[in-house]
Structure 1
Amino acid sequence: MTLHILRAALQWVLFLPLRVTLILLGLLVVPLALPFLIIENPPIAFTQAPGYWGLGRLPAWAWLWSNDRDGALGDKRGWWHLNAPFGLGAYHWFSQFWWLAIRNPANNMRFSPWFSCPLTECDFRYWGDESVEDRPGQGGQRLLLATHKVTGRRYYGFYGVWQWSATRALVIQLGFKPEPSDWAEDYSADPSAQWKGLTFEVNPWKGI
């Protein structure tokens, strides 16, 4: 296990500055790409708000900073349309910038095999607790390794929850986000849901 801990630490040390750099680049790329935004499907009505949603994609050269699930107009429910900054709504340039560059930065990283783990293409093993949740009485620690069946690429993720009061816990989540229960899910209806991306969270005061 010691070797896996060292490999995991090296992977995280390499990916953290790369992820931060790509997120910061989005502050420049997204404004440059938004004038070329393409709505790829016919507009459909928001499910919980007045107005219409369409899948707005940035051009191919800005794909990493686009959002292939929700697009630039936010969620299909219309929550973002109602809650965008300053009440501007989902169609305003600033709201689209905020959604793509601030709220969901470099979002398509989660659909890249370099920055996200494709569950159906990987085997997995773990050390520690099978179930770890940031809920009262459900903490624990787990190191998980997912290995791509073809390329052998490794995806390491650590999740630790140490509850220290009735409502607060220290939560540390590093690396890729798969957990054992993910492999029991059926992704045939939505293959994009199988992708599990990167996170780097250290929160000593997280509400549970």
Structure 2
Amino acid sequence: MFPHLLRAAGQWLLLFPVRVLLILVGALVVPLALPLARPSGPAVLFTQAPGDWQLVTLPDWAWLWSNDRDGALGDKRGWWHLNAPFGLGAYHWFSKLWWLALRNPANNMRFAPLLGCPVTECDYRYWGDENVEDRPGEGGRRFLLATHKQTGRRYYGFYGVWQWSATRAVVVQIGFKGEPKDWAEDYTGDLSRQWAGMTFEINLFKDIS
């Protein structure tokens, strides 16, 4: 396991600044690209809110900072429509900017082989707890390695949750977000769901209530 920990540390140290740089660049790209955003496909009703959702994406040159699953209007449930800043709703330009540049920055980077793990194309193994959640009584530690079946490329991820009160926990999640349960999913209807992106989260006081 120790050699894998060293490789993981090297991978994270290399990719973390790349991720940060892309997120910062997005603060410039998204405002420039939003006026050129284009809707595609039919509009459908939000599942949990009044109003319509439609996939709205940035132009091709800004693809990395777009969101091919949720688009600029947020999730299909309508949660973002109800919770966008200042009660503006999902359709306002500022809400789209916030969603793409701040809440889900450079979201499409997870579809890039360097920065995203395609679950169906990889085998996996893990050390520690199979199920780790940031919910009361469901903490634990897991170090996971996914290996691409053809290229041998490795994707490392660590997830640790240490609960220290009834509603708070220390949460550390670094690297690729793949979980063992992801390999039990059926992605035939939507292969884009298989991609596990990267994250770097260290929260000493996370609310898990």
Q: TM-score range by the shorter chain?
A: over 0.9
Q: How many residues align?
A: 208
1:155, 1:12 → 2: CA distance? 10
2:148, 2:50 → 1: CA distance? 43
- Aligned Cα root-mean-square deviation (Å): 1.5
1:45 equivalenced with 2:53 (yes/no):
no
1:28 equivalenced with 2:28 (yes/no):
yes
What amino acid is the match of 1:120?
T
2:120, 2:152 → 1: CA distance? 14
Structure 1 pair 182/24, CA: closer, same or farther in 2 (3 Å)?
Answer: same
After TM superposition, give the deviation of residue 182 of structure 1 in Å. Answer: 1.4
Q: Bigger CA drift: 147-156 or 158-167?
A: 158-167
**Mapping 1:55-134, distance limit 5 Å:** 55-134=55-134
Q: Bigger CA drift: 88-97 or 63-72?
A: 88-97
**Mapping 1:95-174, distance limit 5 Å:** 95-174=95-174
What amino acid is the match of 2:156?
Y
5+ unaligned residues in a row in structure 2: which ranges?
none
TM-score, with normalisation over the residues of structure 2? 0.93
1:142, 1:49 → 2: CA distance? 36
2:109, 2:174 → 1: CA distance? 16
What is the identity percentage for the equivalent residue pairs of Structure 1 and Structure 2? 74
5+ unaligned residues in a row in structure 1: which ranges?
none
Secondary structure of 1:133 counterpart: coil
The residue that corresponds to 1:203 in the other structure is 203
Structure 1 pair 43/138, CA: closer, same or farther in 2 (3 Å)?
Answer: closer
1:169, 1:114 → 2: CA distance? 31
Write out per-residue CA displacement over residues 101-137 of structure 1, whole angstroms, 9 at most, x where no aligned residue: 1111111112222111111000011122222222333
1:161, 1:177 → 2: CA distance? 14
Secondary structure of 1:41 counterpart: strand
What amino acid is the match of 2:27?
L
1:62, 1:30 → 2: CA distance? 8
2:34, 2:179 → 1: CA distance? 35
Write out per-residue CA displacement over residues 77-114 of structure 1, whole angstroms, 9 at most, x where no aligned residue: 33322332223222222111111111111111122221
1:133, 1:81 → 2: CA distance? 26
1:119, 1:57 → 2: CA distance? 24
Structure 1 pair 7/98, CA: closer, same or farther in 2 (3 Å)?
Answer: same
The residue that corresponds to 2:179 in the other structure is 179
Secondary structure of 1:137 counterpart: coil
1:73, 1:86 → 2: CA distance? 15
After TM superposition, give the deviation of residue 166 of structure 1 in Å. Answer: 2.9
TM-score, with normalisation over the residues of structure 1? 0.93
**Mapping 1:8-27, distance limit 5 Å:** 8-27=8-27
Q: Bigger CA drift: 152-161 or 129-138?
A: 129-138
Structure 1 pair 46/184, CA: closer, same or farther in 2 (3 Å)?
Answer: closer
